[in-house]
Structure 1
């Protein structure tokens, strides 16, 4: 299994896409789009996703100009994935023959894959609920422990492996830091990233490996 993400800005750069200030366009600016829609497109391209709760101005621009946004993204061989109930939107490669792959794919380790499927299952178990879904490091470690035993019995090495997987999920905004230490909110975007067929195939492989 692999996880896709759009090009990311360098760590430490200021995210200027969600800006309350009114942008003044130059007289010779040829764009036909308003400033909020242009910022929205930049945020979608920059990734990893737009969240209604976090990016309210951009989400408003998306609701107003969804058709235009979809068209401009399609010009770049990208598809807009939008879930209004979850309040998330992101881009994936357009499924067109011979289209270039704009969005990069990041391969996941075995432990990353197990963690992604676990987090996704927790989200789906709360589908339809307005409550946010949280998970703690102790819960993650308990779930991953079965896939660590055959790898190493060194507890510190196991904790380091779990930490790297958590860090990868945090970097890609799958896990969102909560106010409590070693606890995270699971991003609702995870419901949309992987299709049911892909999840079923990978789950079957993991169950076979666990049985061995």
Structure 2
């Protein structure tokens, strides 16, 4: 009769090389990476019924981009920082609306434009809003001043109200008699560029030219308008293609931020 030797069913553990694993204890990844968690796990509801998944700074940046002509680091540093931190997801949100988010890190400006694709029929949320003739003239002056100051190593380009008036007045017809009406037209054009954040009034009658003027009037556009002025600048429009191409949400009036 053969003797049966009973042994312990639990395998022996070498304390020097391994240790038993306690059940139900999550294991730490050994590859140096932590599993990503969904963004919505970290976002608290901001209002009743809120189903948004973006944190507040990212939502504010997105809303500001949709509300304004553009967002700049100088005017909205907190929103600019949030926009850069969440650029990919904000761009995706814009794409859902057939809108493109453009971020220019050199000039620290972000703006939107309508997606237009041949063969793709989409609802248009943004509209082309050409500048008027006098507005375009003043933008040309602002653009040239901005480039001059940049070339001289200056960080800020400034224009006085009288410079703007004198420049635009130089393009009046020789037989113009209603000078008061033309002055009102120029004043209204200046007010438009201030409202569009192309100019910022830093003191009474003194304006800072904002970098967005480079976006609104790129080099090729500048050449077209310069040629148009050289040919006399027809008063019936603001130049080739009716002025600087701009886009704005139908209700683009800014509220207090």
Same fold (TM over 0.5): yes
Task: Give 1:141's match in structure 2, choosing from 132, 152, 165.
Answer: 165
Q: CA deviation at 1:40?
A: 0.8
Equivalent positions of 1:29-178 (< 5 A) are 29-97=50-118, 98-127=121-150, 129=153, 131-150=155-174, 152-178=176-202
**2:213 match:** 190
**2:244 match:** none
CA distance in 2 between counterparts of 1:154 and 1:169 reads 23
Task: Determine helix, strand or coil for the equivalent of 1:209.
Answer: coil
Query: Could you state the TM-score of these two structures normalised by the residue count of structure 2?
Result: 0.66
Which ranges of structure 1 fall in alignment gaps of 5 or more residues? 1-22
Number of matched pairs: 189
Q: After superposition, what is the alpha-carbon deviation per residue over 1:190-212, rounded to whole angstroms, capped at 9, x for unaligned?
A: 1112333333223222210159x
CA distance in 2 between counterparts of 1:78 and 1:156 reads 42
Q: CA deviation at 1:183?
A: 0.8
Which ranges of structure 2 fall in alignment gaps of 5 or more residues? 1-43, 235-257
Q: CA deviation at 1:29?
A: 2.4
CA distance in 2 between counterparts of 1:88 and 1:151 reads 42
CA distance in 1 between counterparts of 2:80 and 2:106 reads 13
CA distance in 2 between counterparts of 1:27 and 1:153 reads 61
Contact 1:111–1:147 (CA<8 Å) still a contact in 2? no
Q: CA deviation at 1:151?
A: 6.3
RMSD: 2.4
CA distance in 2 between counterparts of 1:197 and 1:101 reads 26
CA distance in 2 between counterparts of 1:74 and 1:151 reads 51
Query: Could you state the TM-score of these two structures normalised by the residue count of structure 1?
Result: 0.78
| Structure number with higher helix proportion | 1
Task: Determine helix, strand or coil for the equivalent of 2:124.
Answer: coil
Does the C-alpha gap of structure 1 residues 27 and 210 become closer, same or farther in structure 2, counting only changes over 3 Å? closer
Contact 2:101–2:112 (CA<8 Å) still a contact in 1? yes
